[in-house]
Structure 1
Amino acid sequence: MAEVVLVIGLQACGKTTFFRVHLGSTHVLVSKDAMPRSARHREARLIRELAAALAAGHDVCVDNTQPSAAERAGVIAAARAAGAQVVGHWWHPDLPLSLERNARRAEPVPLVGLYAASARWEEPRLDEGFDELVEHP
């Protein structure tokens, strides 16, 4: 059975580093960050890329902020439709730390993006469709 891992948390909390260290050799990365900024219909494109990777037999990591249940629902539904196991790894929102780390990035996320994601934050729950949730400090 294929696995879809959602990494969930504010920008600059460590999601991409977690992917590189723990999943980079075993999972295909699907992320809106990898799309051109001018890409239209980014959510639909992400779902298509996820479905294609699963159809090709790959395990997948979806690396986006995904701060609310509504924003995670499409990915979870697509994973379920493909018969994949769904695992969430999530980081508690720490806005001051994310702001500090973001400031050190070569291409920082606009501050409005960090504040908006923080305002939409909903702690992930198993009943959203996850098989497992792993909490990171």
Structure 2
Amino acid sequence: MIEIIIFIGLQGAGKSTFYRTHFAETHALVSKDLMRNNKRPARRQAFLIAEHLKAGTSLVVDNTNPTRGDRQDIIEIAPDYQAKIIGYYFDSQIADCLTRNRQREGKARVPDYALYMTRNKLVPPDYSEGFHRLFQVKIAENPGTFEIHPWVQEEKLGPESI
């Protein structure tokens, strides 16, 4: 079955590294970070998602996707292609994300205020949005590794826990 995997989390939470270590060989990558010169990145993203799905290719949407609305725009595409929708919520501390972000260079680094803005908008995912499966991801103590746990719906993660 074709999958749309949606990453959810702050900048610097490990999303892109997680893609490279877990999905790069099996899933295409769609990221607004790769569309910096596009005046309508959301429209371009929807087009690319549909093109991958038409081709029968599973994909990862590697953006912050902090709000239900951001995610809904992606989720609404899936039924036309019978795609399974899987979410990965990157549980992280803002201090850790700020540190990792400051280690980035060039356009990969975002201003500190961008992380605070994302944190203030961040709404943890919920199965009611249309996800078939949800997971919680944390960066593990060993560099480049992650802890992955099935999502527990009752968990209330959000800006206050970040």
TM-score between the two structures when normalised by the length of structure 1: 0.95
Q: What are structure 1's unaligned runs of at least 5 residues?
A: none
Other structure's SS at 1:122 match: coil
| Residue 127 (structure 1) aligns with | 128
CA deviation string 1:15-71 (max 9, x = no partner):
011100000000000000111x23111111101000001101101100000011111
| Residue 114 (structure 2) aligns with | 113
Q: What are structure 2's unaligned runs of at least 5 residues?
A: 139-162
Detail structure 1 runs of 4+ shifted over 6 Å in the superposition.
none
> Quick one: percent identity of the two aligned structures?
36
| Residue 137 (structure 2) aligns with | 136
| Residue 74 (structure 1) aligns with | 73
In 2, are the aligned partners of 1:93 and 1:118 still within 8 Å (CA)? no
How many pairs does the alignment contain? 136
Counterpart residue type for residue 53 of structure 1: H
CA deviation string 1:90-110 (max 9, x = no partner):
112421111010000013112
Counterpart residue type for residue 54 of structure 1: L
| Residue 54 (structure 2) aligns with | 55
Is it true that 1:85 corresponds to 2:84 in the alignment?
A: yes
- Mapped to 1, the partners of 2:15 and 2:120 lie a distance apart of 19
Alignment of 1:8-23 (within 5 A): 8-23=8-23
- Mapped to 2, the partners of 1:48 and 1:75 lie a distance apart of 10
TM-score between the two structures when normalised by the length of structure 2: 0.81
Considering only aligned residues, what root-mean-square deviation do their CA atoms show, in Å?
1.0
Counterpart residue type for residue 13 of structure 2: C
- Mapped to 2, the partners of 1:84 and 1:78 lie a distance apart of 9
Other structure's SS at 2:136 match: strand
- Mapped to 2, the partners of 1:117 and 1:61 lie a distance apart of 20
- Mapped to 2, the partners of 1:92 and 1:124 lie a distance apart of 12
In 2, are the aligned partners of 1:6 and 1:61 still within 8 Å (CA)? yes
